[in-house]
Amino acid sequence: MKPNPAPSTPPHPGALPEPQPEAAPRPRVVLEARGLVKRYGHVTALDGTDFELREGEILAVIGDNGAGKSTLIKALSGAIIPDAGQIFLDGKPVHFRSPIDARRAGIETVYQDLAVAPAMTIAENLFLGREILRKGWLARLLRWIDKKRMLEEAIADMQDLKIGIRSMSQAVETLSGGQRQGVAVARAAAFAQHVVIMDEPTAALGVKEGNMVLELIRRVRDNGLPVIIISHNMPHVFEIADRIHIQRLGKRVAVVNPKTIRMSDAVAVMTGAKMPEELSPEMLAY
């Protein structure tokens, strides 16, 4: 095995000389993984990968096809169970057996196909599977939903993210692609206690709507939730990420700083055209 440029010695991997002289106190680590392994038959999708998400950041995960980035994200969101390795949420070990488990632990995922019911209203989609019930034993017995409160809270959730949609009682299928994404993001942000994961949030969108969604992701972070985004769109990644996790051949090969590294260098590392050791220290995120 080659020496790993981002050695898996938590809590600070990629520990090369510190790029910033003033060295602000290190933010708390919210979600962390060590040595994750996942094999599908003879294919090793994850080969002992590490991962670290910190408080208040947008972390982009990039990698070529087959680098294991979607497997990594599935492991973090509970969609698959890794064969080996550990995941820590707020420093405590967690074992997700399903996406429901991860959601209960406070990790919300915005899926690429958004997982919305198009014929149902925005308010209903926001509370799908988590409907607010009316008060009283009879209402509880009948599981009688409180439509008025759901509508009010839907308006509040959408306002938190400044998503400008007039009516929460219109069907999701009447919205544009970007607005639908807004609904899925608002749902995740409203229920996530710790982390929001977004899978290719801008993939199906035009330029204007893509920018709108990037703005939305920033607001989620600024409202206090760290965000993991998986994206193929390098300009978007560089525009929005605070740090970039580069996945290659089932491992994390580097964590880089989008403000100091050139896009071409990041892509070169991602595709193996350049070794991570060849990067200059200030390009790495500490």
Partner 1 sequence: MAQEQSGTTQRPGSFLERLPSLSILGPLVALFLAVVFFSLQSDRFLTGQNFSLILQQISVVAVLAIGQTLIILTAGIDLSVGFVMALGTMVMAKFAVELGLPPLLAILCGIVVTTAFGFLNGFLITRFRLPPFIVTLGTMNIAFALTQIYSRAQTVSGLPDAHLFWGNTFRIGETVLTYGVVLMIVLYLLVWFFLSETAPGRHLYAVGNNPEAARLMGIPTQRVLLLTYTIAGFFYGIAGWLLISRTSVADPNAGQTENLETITAVVLGGTSLFGGRGMILGTLLGAIIVGVFRNGLTLTGVSSVYQVLITGILVILAVTADQISKRRS
Binding residues for partner 1, per CB under 8 A? 99-100, 103, 109, 111, 113-120, 124, 128-131, 133, 142-145, 147, 164-167, 170-171, 173-180, 204, 206, 208-209
Residue 152 vs 282, nearer CB to partner 1: 152
Q: Smallest gap, in angstroms, from Cβ of residue 217 to partner 1? A: 18
Residue 94 vs 249, nearer CB to partner 1: 94
Q: Smallest gap, in angstroms, from Cβ of residue 129 to partner 1? A: 4
Distances (CA, A) of 205 to 97, 202, 212: 32, 5, 10
Residue 180 vs 248, nearer CB to partner 1: 180
Q: Smallest gap, in angstroms, from Cβ of residue 127 to partner 1? A: 9
Q: Smallest gap, in angstroms, from Cβ of residue 280 to partner 1? A: 41
Q: Of 184, 204, 177, 175, which is closest to residue 125 (Cα–Cα)?
A: 184
Residue 81 vs 117, nearer CB to partner 1: 117
* Contact assessment for residue 200 and residue 230, using Cβ atoms and an 8 Å cutoff: yes
Distances (CA, A) of 248 to 198, 254, 275: 20, 9, 11
Neighbours of 286 (CB within 10 A): 18
Q: Please state whether beta strands 58-63 and 227-230 pair in parallel, antiparallel, or not at all (unpaired).
A: parallel
* Contact assessment for residue 217 and residue 186, using Cβ atoms and an 8 Å cutoff: no
Residue 6 vs 126, nearer CB to partner 1: 126
Q: Smallest gap, in angstroms, from Cβ of residue 149 to partner 1? A: 13
What is the C-alpha separation between 39 and 7, in angstroms, rounded?
22
